[in-house]
Homo-oligomer: A and B are copies of this chain.
């Protein structure tokens, strides 16, 4: 039990590294945080700025500027909401989707590689365990909707 922290630390670190190294797609460079932003915009259906910042636990001002940077790179589009004109709706541009998909592919390749060291039973156990762990973390609160 004492080494759970260490194992989690290592997993987190390795997974973070992966993201860090994977973010240059066809001439476009994307930072780790930016890849997370792309990922979340892709997942959530036409989210607002606030929603994504909240999900990622980022300061809204920092987030605002990161989005500006992504817009400059033509990966994200920001349009005022019809319902509430204070709100901006985010979506990926075609190129943004392309970059997000390329990153996704690299992550999936890595995951496939990792799981290739396990048999089917182990793989399913591990995946079920990760989901259970995540669910328990969610119950405990602390963060992340």
Contact = CB atoms under 8 A, between A and B. Distances in A.
* Interface of chain A: mostly helix, strand, loop or mixed: helix
Interface string A13-28: 1111110110000000
A139 interface: yes
Contacts of A86: none
A79 interface: no
Interface stretch (A61-69, A89-97, A123-131): A123-131
Interface residues of A, number: 54
Interface stretch (A45-53, A70-78, A103-111): A103-111
Residue among A39, A133, A140 with max Cβ neighbours from chain B (10 Å)? A133
A19 to B, nearest CB: 9
A56 to B, nearest CB: 7
A60 interface: no
14 contacts: A4-B127, A5-B108, A7-B131, A8-B130, A10-B137, A10-B144, A15-B137, A18-B142, A21-B142, A110-B142, A114-B133, A117-B140, A126-B132, A129-B130
